[in-house]
């Protein structure tokens, strides 16, 4: 679809596609739910009387549940529409957040935390909505602008969460999430028009289309690039609270300040994606992002190996993770959605499930490595390895395309 044929969009008009502001805010809530409370993990572990490694499950199990939900959310939204699924997801998140606040023990809290993952639907549906209304390269550009807007949230979220923890305790962060969910439920109701114009005959018919995606080497290449690039960030999420508090001795407020460093890079990277994706094409953008992250992490590993370990260096150089991800992920997402455009929702869900599932595993692995006596260098090397695999994935896509062109 060309830019001229894009549907008219009006804010707070349910007869038109959602305004970009709505997509940014709903995706931002999903991002905030992942990281606002991370500086509070040590104090939450003390509150519930559990080890840090067990408390860290509030991140890894959340990610695992997100992956499971995304396996079905794409086909569900292709079948029933983007609007009702988005409304339901935000409503469920609001209820789960209230349960988490009043949880009497760790078991109830972690169960509520897993149900909170419903809001991660916003990531899948925002990409699917964009792909519903624009072409592949323009989708990469528009997704870049959407994620650029929402990237402000993870940049300030840990700072806010750390400050709230210092003054009011860990529950304050969850009250912020509950208030945001209530407001966004009203906004989505008033603004998000339906964009999925064609509907599958049944949910089963949608699920049966997964093999068509799974047989596509191009789909796997883009999913691999997305999964391994995101894996470096998820390993950071799982391990950096431990590095900050146990290795560098930072308090919650200071850790929150440092923790948002990758989001600064993500903001810049998404701006660059929005600015250059249509001009450079998605494969070159993915390659540029993968190299940015890998080289930045190699430099950090070299400094750690040389004994130059300091929180400013550690968190400062993780900006490269956000920068690289911001450059590449909009294009990787657009690529996987464009393999079979008629299956945009299913591709977003399946690709998201694989990406987030890999992230959950790496987040848990990072927590385990550090809990068993690992150093900051061990976490960095894990991130280097996953980022390097994202380079391998996009090399595979580009090499295959060259072979096809040569006949």
CATH number of the domain encompassing residue 81:
1.20.1250.20
Asked whether residue 2 is assigned to any structural domain, the reply reads no
Asked whether residue 347 is assigned to any structural domain, the reply reads yes
Predicted local distance difference test score (pLDDT) of residue 205: 65
Asked whether residue 200 is assigned to any structural domain, the reply reads no
Q: What is the mean pLDDT of each run of 10 residues along the chain (407 residues)?
A: 54 79 84 85 90 82 81 76 88 95 95 89 77 68 68 73 89 95 93 73 64 83 91 85 87 82 85 84 93 96 92 93 90 82 70 78 78 81 93 93 79
Predicted local distance difference test score (pLDDT) of residue 69: 82
| Distance in angstroms (rounded) separating the CA atoms of residues 112 and 20 | 29
Asked whether residue 84 is assigned to any structural domain, the reply reads yes
| Distance in angstroms (rounded) separating the CA atoms of residues 38 and 45 | 11
Tens of pLDDT, residue by residue over 268-282, are: 898 888 788 888 888
Asked whether residue 3 is assigned to any structural domain, the reply reads no
Asked whether residue 309 is assigned to any structural domain, the reply reads yes
Two structure tokens written together for 402: 């060259």
**pTM listed for this prediction:** 0.71
Asked whether residue 5 is assigned to any structural domain, the reply reads no
State the DSSP H helix or E strand holding residue 323, giving kind and residue range, or none if neither. helix 319-338
Predicted local distance difference test score (pLDDT) of residue 183: 94
The DSSP code for 202 is -
Tens of pLDDT, residue by residue over 72-82, are: 777 777 778 88
Angle between helical axes of 319-338 and 344-371 (0-180°, round to 10): 150
Structural domain tally of the chain?
1
Residue ranges making up the domain that contains 163: 17-191+210-405
Asked whether residue 199 is assigned to any structural domain, the reply reads no
Predicted local distance difference test score (pLDDT) of residue 342: 66
3-state secondary structure 343-397: HHHHHHHHHHHHHHHHHHHHHHHHHHHHHCCCCHHHHHHHHHHHHHHHHHHHHHH
């Amino acid at each position: 679809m060309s830019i001229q044929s894009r549907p008219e969009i009006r804010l707070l008009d349910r007869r038109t596609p959602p305004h970009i502001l709505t997509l940014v805010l709903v995706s931002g809530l999903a991002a905030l739910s992942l990281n606002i409370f991370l500086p509070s993990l040590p104090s939450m572990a003390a509150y519930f009387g559990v080890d840090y490694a067990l408390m860290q499950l509030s991140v890894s199990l959340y990610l695992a549940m997100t992956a499971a939900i995304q396996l079905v959310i794409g086909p569900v939204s292709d079948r029933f529409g983007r609007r009702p699924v988005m409304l339901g997801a935000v409503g469920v998140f609001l209820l789960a957040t209230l349960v988490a606040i009043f949880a009497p023990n760790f078991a109830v809290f972690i169960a509520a935390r897993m149900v909170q993952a419903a809001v991660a639907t916003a990531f899948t549906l925002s990409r699917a909505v964009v792909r519903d209304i624009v072409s592949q390269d323009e989708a990469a550009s528009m997704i870049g602008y959407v994620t650029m807007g929402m990237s402000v949230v993870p940049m300030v979220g840990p700072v806010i969460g750390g400050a709230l923890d210092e003054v009011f305790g860990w529950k304050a962060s969850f009250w912020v999430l509950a208030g945001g969910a209530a407001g966004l439920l009203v906004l989505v109701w008033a603004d998000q028009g339906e964009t999925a114009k064609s509907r599958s005959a049944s949910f089963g018919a949608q699920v049966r289309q997964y093999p068509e995606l799974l047989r596509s080497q191009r789909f796997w290449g883009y999913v691999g690039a997305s999964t391994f690039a995101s894996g470096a960030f998820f390993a950071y999420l799982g391990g950096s609270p431990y590095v900050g508090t146990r290795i560098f001795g930072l308090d919650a407020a200071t850790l929150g300040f440092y923790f948002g460093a990758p989001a600064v890079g993500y903001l810049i990277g998404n701006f660059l994606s929005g600015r250059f994706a249509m001009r450079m094409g998605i494969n070159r953008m993915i390659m540029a992002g993968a190299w940015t992250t890998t080289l930045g992490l190699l430099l950090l590993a070299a400094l750690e190996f040389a004994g130059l370990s300091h929180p400013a260096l550690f968190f400062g150089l993780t900006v490269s993770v956000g920068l690289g991800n911001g450059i590449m992920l909009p294009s990787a997402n657009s690529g996987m959605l464009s393999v079979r455009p008629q299956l945009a929702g299913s591709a977003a869900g399946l690709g998201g499930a694989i990406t987030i599932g890999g992230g959950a595993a790496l987040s848990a692995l990072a927590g385990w490595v550090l809990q068993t006596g690992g150093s900051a260098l061990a976490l960095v090397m894990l991130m280097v390895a996953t980022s390097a695999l994202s380079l391998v994935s996009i090399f595979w896509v580009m090499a295959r395309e060259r072979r096809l062109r040569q006949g």
